[in-house]
Amino acid sequence: MGLKIIVVGAGIGGLTAALALRQAGHSVEIFEKSKFAKEVGAALGLTPNGSRVLATLGFSFERARAREITSWDIVDGVSLRLAKSMDFTGLSKQFGFSAYAVHRVDFHTELLRLAQQPGISGEEAVALHLSSAVVDCDPVEGWIQLADGTKHYADLIVGADGVHSVLRPLVTGSGDAPHSTGLSAFRFLVPTSTMCNDPALQDLMEWKTTGAATLADPQDALPQRHMMWYDCQDGEIQNFVGITASRDIPMGSDGIPDFNTAMLEDFHAYHPDLKHVIKIAGNVTCWPLSIHDPLTSWTKGKVVLVGDAAHPMLPFGGQGSNQAIEDAGALGYLFTAVDDVFKVSARLKMFEEVRINRASIIQTLSTQRAGKEKDVEEALKQYYAPGAKIPGSFPERNYDAFSHNVLQAAADVLATSKLEQEAPDSASTEAYILPQMTRDYLSNQMMSQAA
């Protein structure tokens, strides 16, 4: 008999955590505030460290239409001259898994498919509650409260409710919200066929490799400004992201914000072919980028934060989703076959030991685009042992990220930890007994009313 677990949020982090914990032998239900619980937006990158965890959950890269990334090119966005290229074709041999680009909707759909069917070993499907916004939570008693006033109890509550998490301040005891970086991300998708059939883009499409490209102006006064370009959905869609300073968006003649014009103004120095792509894009959006300083703790009582709720990141380096997946992998491993509620506190401490330093390193690096790793070297030192190698270049940063095996890290901590040999104190004992007594009371009340 496993634990009763509640996951708050049905995004990538929430669904992956639910799958990992369901596979670990627990009864899992998700409470999602939206009506459809569907990811929107553009594409994202899956790197070996994240793919390793997904593979253990039965994730189908084929169903998700994942596109292998064969290289990562650093390009002068003005001249289109190649500055540096990192060959990714050997990642599978080196790390066990390749790097992929996948559309968020395809990724989310595959996770949802897995959650709504029995697990690999016959575990029951994850219960998904839509239109169920969580407005309050008691980490000690172990309950969440929905907008309709109902309370739901659990032995473990996973806060996967994103960058504007409701659960974060209840865990940290601070009302500090993510702060603006002063940067925004333009995003759009263009069908590959549209670009191939455009005479003005034939040279550009012949130039483009099947890898990911970071395009930047070496003379730009704003060093963070750059574009990312890679394809997804089996190569049928081209994905573009443009990072630039936040600004007012001009209104078009139809009264709708003209994101195309704004992006063209911000990337006016770039190659004419790239500007032509922006002109013909029909679905340009713009999202402000926020970040939170690394947290020193992600847990309180029976609540643990994961994904953007614990470590919101900027898109530089493409590790945001991969770190949420690593969180899920660590939770699943550490809670495998745990059916004693008194072990929850110790396992959550182990989870923090596995994850906080690792995620804080990636979170700190996420503030810098490729080639700017040295700018955060001092900030990174607090997370490394004295004398340890600190990544100071983009290849080193990738190796540091890709080579990490979070499942092995969890196994190592579990093997060496003495936390579970410590007797629970009276406060923690009360924290676990009280919710069970409350649930028994409510159950008896319902039976009496029915009679």
Confidence grade of residue 6 (pLDDT, cut at 50, 70, 90): very high
Across 259-273, average pLDDT: 96
Q: Hey, which residues are catalytic here?
A: 187, 230
Evaluate if residue 274 carries a pLDDT over 80: yes
pLDDT at 422 over 70: no
**Per-residue confidence (pLDDT) for residue 423, from 0 to 100:** 43
Using one digit for the tens of pLDDT, what is the confidence trace for 341-392? 999 999 999 999 999 999 999 999 998 877 888 989 999 999 998 989 999 9
The mean pLDDT value for 91-103 works out to 94
CA distance 54 to 358: 19
Whether 141 shows a pLDDT value over 90: the answer reads yes
Domains (range + CATH), the chain: 4-67+101-178+293-416 (3.50.50.60), 179-291 (3.30.70)
Average pLDDT over residues 196-221: 93
Confidence (pLDDT) at 39: 59
Indicate whether 435 pLDDT > 90. Answer: no
pLDDT at position 419 is: 65
Check residue 322 and give its pLDDT.
96
What does the pLDDT look like over 305-325, one tens digit per residue? 999 999 999 888 889 999 999
What's the average model confidence in pLDDT over 51-64?
96
Residue predicted with more confidence, 260 or 422: 260
The reported pLDDT for the residue numbered 40 is 64
Q: What mean pLDDT comes out for the span 139-150? A: 96
Residues of the chain above pLDDT 90, percent: 75
pLDDT > 70? residue 255: yes
Q: What is the mean pLDDT of residues 83-105?
A: 93
Please compute the mean of the pLDDT values over residues 264-268 and round it to a whole number. Answer: 96
Asked which of 108-122, 148-162, 395-409, 437-451 is least confident by mean pLDDT, the reply is 437-451
109, pLDDT greater than 80: yes
pLDDT of amino acid 38: 59
Interval 114-127 mean pLDDT = 88
Q: What is the pLDDT of residues 18-48, one digit of tens each?
A: 999 999 999 999 999 998 765 566 889 999 9
More confidently predicted of 81 and 444: 81
Res 448: pLDDT: 40
Tell me the pTM. Answer: 0.89
The percentage of the chain sitting over the pLDDT mark of 70, rounded to a whole number, equals 92
- According to the model, what pLDDT value does residue 367 have? 87
In this prediction, residue 66 carries a pLDDT of 95
Split at pLDDT 50, 70, 90, the class of 421 is low
What's the chain's average pLDDT?
89
Top-confidence residue, 145 or 43: 145
